[in-house]
Amino acid sequence: MLTEVPQPIYLKDYQPPGFLIDRVDLAFDLGEERAAVHARLTVRRNPDAPPSDGALCLNGEQLELQSIFLDGRPLNPDAYALDEESLQIRGLPDAFVLETRVHIRPQNNSALEGLYKSGGMFCTQCEAEGFRRITYFLDRPDVMSRFSTSVTADRSRYPVLLSNGNPVETEELGDGRHRVTWEDPHPKPCYLFALVAGDLRHIEDTYTTASGRAVALRIYVEPANIDKCDHAMRSLKKAMRWDEERFGREYDLDIYMIVAVNDFNMGAMENKGLNVFNSQYVLARPETATDRDYQNIEGVIAHEYFHNWTGNRITCRDWFQLSLKEGLTVFRDQEFSADMGSRGVKRIEDVRILRAHQFSEDAGPMAHPVRPASYIEINNFYTVTVYNKGAEVIRMQRNLLGAEGFRKGMDLYFRRHDGQAVTTDDFVGCMQDASGRDMGQFQRWYHQAGTPRLGVEGRYDEQARTYTLEVEQNCSETADRSGKEPFDIPLALGLLDTKTGKDLPLTLQGETPAGATRRVLELRQSKETFCFVDIPDRPVPSLLRGFSAPVKVSFDYSDEDLMFLMAHDSDDFNRWDAAQELAQRIILNMVAQYRDGRPMAVPQGVVEAFGTALADDSADKNLLAEVLHLPSESYLGDQMETVDVEGIHGAREAFMNCLAGALKQRLIQLYREHEEQGTYDIQPDSIGRRALKNACLSYLMQLEDPAIHDLCAQQFHRAHNMTDMIAALAALASTDCPQRAQALEAYAEQWKDDTLVMNKWFAVQAMSKLPDVLHQVKALMGHPAFSITNPNKVRSLIGTFCSGNVSGFHAADGSGYDFLAGRVLHIDPLNPQVAARLVRSLARWRRYDPARREMIKLQLQRILEAENLSRDVFEIVSKSLAAA
């Protein structure tokens, strides 16, 4: 907690560690009051360290030091000094064994960093800097050590005792206690350490690697959840196979364990051989988990598994390099999911996240490059920029080098850096060396924040039959003030023949025609010109196909051009994007009409274009559902100079209403055609059917039609799967009708004992469009299924309201802001990470009208004035108030 103003840490100050720790032998004795941790560190001076005063400074926080021994002898108190954050030892030999014994209090650890209790079980979370809350250590990722861990605990309460690596010894201690010892043969940074102890059941399977080794796979859960693990296990096996086939990567231990815990700050953690997961990303049965949950589980299981190579065997030199492992691993999990389901839809989902969250992060006070140059609290940098933009930066390298060139680069990376702690420069260096391509300019994607904008102009010359594209790139200043030199941008495109709707062959002036209809142009200068020859007519360009770079594109399309692309573009992504762009344009026009007191109108042609999309029986249902899924209110707000909260809400609702009214019959027909049939499965086609049906339902529920309310209630009461149940409940939760309360009550009664299922109940109510939503949210905080110390609950109720329910949270009277500030101040002393995530909803206060701006600013100031504010919340609030 904050005693003085927290200071930033800079990448430019990086120094190699003065000491290395080759071996760590840990012994845990877990009690109900406290845990005793004995650590035996085998240390030597780092021959590559720069000159220093020679002292060893170990990180340690909230540890009660009991004893300290050097080479078997008690250390003289004059030889060391202790403060709140470290243990410093002077006068050390070049190599030695240091032993410490500390007490810690996992039972009181509500921050969920280090060793803590989740329900009846002990578990750990050490990334990024949690290990220092377990024992004194060099808590930095470039110190890699071999670990052994023995865990001693009461046998009846904690029959299962787990740590990294392989189990090597099990002992009965006679007094009702037992001990298990684990050895991890792979050197690792301490952030990958894990320990779990509890009364757990597991399912088991085996996986035979490509080279024929058998690996035991286990998923551990609380006994009541043992019937919800099969999907996670199937996902794990698929991920293991995929990584062998796609990247030639095999697993490297005899056992791989996953443990599901209910209290967890993030999604999951890739600890070596012992992943700890937020139970939300493990547990699924058709009645309790939605299609989206099933997909998320598959994706997160794969993500953590893929970290074994990208993160664990090759790790980060320092935390500024976080995207080295996260961007790359997100790219790998995105590709895996694309191969498992529908590639086009996966791309749309990923881009939606990037645009909605990363573009807005880049435009706000927390803007930072994929490789940040400084931070106050590293936990604040597990961001969409580091993760998702980081993945886009990898994807662009793949686009520039081609699949084969990229694979060569990856192979070199694994060969060259296995067992090391490296930087993003090292990664790009491998891509450069393997391909022979100069990646110097490309590196700017790692160092410069901000979303480049491509201004594109097209000129058709009838006489010369040429089409010339002029592309200008710009990137506006960002809050972090990183420089802005031109980026190296892959721009994939096609040109559509307006007569046939087909792609034209693309030949640049001076080239011999090769017939390609999709090309990737490379932009390096701020301004570039491309002249295509043999173009029979003015074409419609399809720009940035597949979202080939994380940029914004402006091109002067007419509504008709967009409708044309929506109907004819051969690129799935761009067909969808044309529909989004069109909807966005119409809704933003409607906002202006609303503001000027004019009637809001949707052009007939636009309604027809959506009608035509819906009329296509052969269309991929998933894609069609994505077309119906309009840009969110917050994304629409991002497109405005000043966010017009009421205008956007009114216009978006009116647009949906208009489509629902005009296309009602077709929506009902589609709904009926895709009703639940047979047994539930998660094939892409079945998921698409449900997605389309439920999208139709949400439009129909816009119409205040009692027959539709009945239809929705019927779906709710008859549903056999959670996807259909929650879709109906979400629609009812936003509708003032008699079926609403009934359904909400029935749901709570049915699911009161299933904590994850109850989270959905909180979330749909937090998203309600009804005017008393904040009152409801406050009341729900008193519900027995709610808990302020459980991150999933806080996110479902408070997080959903503050970041998902734009018009509820930004109510004109400022009540949402006051509510959030109060919750942040309440949660911060309990769990700074959760509080810091929540407070981000206030960060972009300058984007609102003067009245809201003033109210948000006051709340930010109120937070900043609090005593003992965490570094996490301090960083976000102070940067929000400071940024211009």
Give residues in contact with ligand 0A1 (CB under 6 A).
125, 127-128, 265-270, 303-304, 326, 379, 382
What's the min distance (Å) between Cβ of 261 and ligand 0A1?
A: 11
Q: Which is nearer to Zn ion, 323 or 482 (CB)?
A: 323
Least Cα distance to 99 among 61, 62, 59, 137 occurs for 137
What's the min distance (Å) between Cβ of 791 and ligand 0A1?
A: 10
Q: Which is nearer to ligand 0A1, 266 or 869 (CB)?
A: 266
**Residue 310: φ, ψ to 5°:** -100, 85
Helix, strand, coil percentages for the chain (3-state, nearest 5): 45, 20, 35
Residue 31 binds which entry of ligand 0A1, Zn ion, none, CB below 5-8 Å type-dependent: none
What's the min distance (Å) between Cβ of 276 and ligand 0A1?
A: 8
> 454 forms bridges with which residues in the sheet?
473, 553
What's the min distance (Å) between Cβ of 301 and ligand 0A1?
A: 11
**Residue 863: φ, ψ to 5°:** -65, -45
Distance CA 218, CA 274 (A): 10
Q: How many CB atoms lie within 10 A of CB 410?
A: 25
How far apart, in Å, are the Cα atoms of 139 and each of 130, 188, 642, 875? 8, 12, 44, 21
Q: CA quadruple 391, 397, 402, 403: dihedral positive or negative?
A: negative
Residue 580 binds which entry of ligand 0A1, Zn ion, none, CB below 5-8 Å type-dependent: none
Write out the two tokens for 872: 């996490």
How far apart, in Å, are the Cα atoms of 68 and each of 34, 72, 88, 114, 224? 19, 9, 12, 21, 43
Residue 147 binds which entry of ligand 0A1, Zn ion, none, CB below 5-8 Å type-dependent: none
DSSP assignment letter at 547:
G
> Is 36 exposed, middle or buried, given 0-12, 13-18 or 19+ CB atoms closer than 10 A?
middle
What's the min distance (Å) between Cβ of 7 and ligand 0A1?
A: 21
Distance CA 502, CA 517 (A): 9
Q: Which is nearer to Zn ion, 278 or 548 (CB)?
A: 278
* Local structure of 392: helix, strand or coil: helix
Any residues with CB less than 8 A from the CB of 47 and at least 6 apart, and which? none
What's the min distance (Å) between Cβ of 322 and Zn ion?
A: 9
Does the annotation count 349 as an active-site position?
no
Residue 768 binds which entry of ligand 0A1, Zn ion, none, CB below 5-8 Å type-dependent: none
Closest-by-Cβ residue to ligand 0A1 is 266
How far apart, in Å, are the Cα atoms of 823 and each of 86, 769, 777, 831, 836? 31, 21, 12, 11, 11
Side chain identity, residue 20: L
Q: Which is nearer to Zn ion, 381 or 671 (CB)?
A: 381
Q: How many CB atoms lie within 10 A of CB 293?
A: 20
What's the min distance (Å) between Cβ of 238 and ligand 0A1?
A: 18
Q: Which is nearer to ligand 0A1, 85 or 616 (CB)?
A: 85
What's the min distance (Å) between Cβ of 378 and ligand 0A1?
A: 9
Residue 268 binds which entry of ligand 0A1, Zn ion, none, CB below 5-8 Å type-dependent: ligand 0A1
What's the min distance (Å) between Cβ of 392 and ligand 0A1?
A: 16
Cβ-contact 455, 464 below 8 angstroms:
no
Residue 379 binds which entry of Zn ion, ligand 0A1, none, CB below 5-8 Å type-dependent: ligand 0A1
For 220, the enclosing helix (H) or strand (E) is strand 214-221
Q: Which is nearer to Zn ion, 326 or 633 (CB)?
A: 326
Distance CA 543, CA 553 (A): 8
**Residue 459: φ, ψ to 5°:** -130, 120
Any residues with CB less than 8 A from the CB of 13 and at least 6 apart, and which? none
What's the min distance (Å) between Cβ of 326 and ligand 0A1?
A: 5
What's the min distance (Å) between Cβ of 382 and Zn ion?
A: 9
Q: Which is nearer to Zn ion, 251 or 564 (CB)?
A: 251
Q: Which is nearer to Zn ion, 326 or 503 (CB)?
A: 326
* Local structure of 153: helix, strand or coil: strand
Write out the two tokens for 715: 């779906």
Residues 59-96 as b or e (16 or more Cβ within 10 Å = b): bbbbbeeeebebeeeebeeeebeeeeebbebeebeeeb
DSSP assignment letter at 157:
T
Q: Which is nearer to ligand 0A1, 270 or 633 (CB)?
A: 270
How far apart, in Å, are the Cα atoms of 659 and each of 331, 381, 618, 849? 36, 41, 21, 30
Residue 581 binds which entry of ligand 0A1, Zn ion, none, CB below 5-8 Å type-dependent: none
Q: Which is nearer to Zn ion, 323 or 792 (CB)?
A: 323
Q: Which is nearer to ligand 0A1, 125 or 721 (CB)?
A: 125
Tell me: cis bond preceding 128? Omega within 30 of 0 counts: yes
What's the min distance (Å) between Cβ of 307 and Zn ion?
A: 6
Give the position of tokens 């009812």: 732
Residue 626 binds which entry of ligand 0A1, Zn ion, none, CB below 5-8 Å type-dependent: none
Which contacts (CB < 8 Å, 24+ apart) does range 663-672 have?
A: 663/607, 663/610, 663/611, 663/614, 663/699, 664/700, 664/703, 666/611, 666/614, 666/615, 667/614, 667/696, 667/699, 667/700, 668/696, 668/700, 670/614, 670/696, 671/696, 671/697, 671/700, 671/711
Q: Which is nearer to ligand 0A1, 159 or 267 (CB)?
A: 267
Q: One of 127, 129, 304, 326 is an active-site residue; which one?
A: 304
Distance CA 762, CA 381 (A): 28
> 490 forms bridges with which residues in the sheet?
522
Residues lying near Zn ion in the complex (CB under 5 A) are found at 326, 329
Residue 125 binds which entry of Zn ion, ligand 0A1, none, CB below 5-8 Å type-dependent: ligand 0A1
Residue 875 binds which entry of ligand 0A1, Zn ion, none, CB below 5-8 Å type-dependent: none
Q: Which is nearer to ligand 0A1, 302 or 535 (CB)?
A: 302
What's the min distance (Å) between Cβ of 240 and ligand 0A1?
A: 17
> Would you name the residues annotated as active-site residues?
304
